[in-house]
Chains A and B, each alone.
Chain A
């Protein structure tokens, strides 16, 4: 059974810091891994999608890496800003179960001005 874990559960940093969010999964049989952002009371916004054959994806100040063999992904945020404050969720899309997403519990990020 696929399980996804995110560490830390919460993180508070001063503005301008670079930071790393971690995601681990137990079964490497995945199509892809997706990082989402969720603002309080809102839906999910897709940030980055990494296919199982890829090692990393970049979008602006965000960089996500994937090491499928070790079951790990990281989301790197450069030069953090208060507007980055949100909950970040990772999810893996798994084989042979209709392609459903299995989510971690999220990391709540707070960037202080």
Chain B
């Protein structure tokens, strides 16, 4: 099966600019997650979708971050305006709906550098 697709792989922007990341999960995976991984740390959940509804966005900085999952498939994560501390790898993952016993599958991530 095809994996989780993410784009772009790398992005460099200046602070206060905006940026968007795209994710296409594994076909049939209703649950989609966005994680932020700062250098030297483990990934932390930003937002979780079940189909096109938000399950958990408690750790999403909503003043600057937004995410959507139209039609319950692809998802985009946007940052506007970006800050230096947003420099990180943004990972998208998906898993089967209602199957917590299944593991996650992660994409290759987008490395964001804010200068």
Contact = CB atoms under 8 A, between A and B. Distances in A.
A71 B108 CA distance: 29
A4 B44 CA distance: 12
Nearest to B42: A103
Interface residues of B, number: 29
Contacts of A44: 43, 91, 93, 106
Interface in A38-87: 41-46, 49, 51
Contacts, number: 65
Contact of A49 (B44, B103, B108): B103
Q: How large is the interface on A (under 10, 10 to 19, 20 to 34, 35 or more residues)?
A: 20 to 34
B41 A105 contact: yes
A91 B95 CA distance: 15
16 contacts: A34-B103, A36-B106, A44-B91, A45-B106, A46-B104, A49-B102, A98-B48, A98-B56, A100-B45, A100-B48, A100-B56, A101-B93, A105-B40, A105-B41, A105-B42, A106-B41
Leading 8 A-B pairs by shortest Cβ distance: A103-B42, A43-B108, A44-B106, A49-B103, A31-B100, A98-B55, A43-B109, A99-B100
Given A43-B6, A43-B91, A98-B48, 12 more contacts: A34-B103, A34-B104, A41-B111, A42-B109, A44-B43, A44-B106, A46-B103, A49-B102, A49-B103, A100-B45, A101-B35, A101-B45
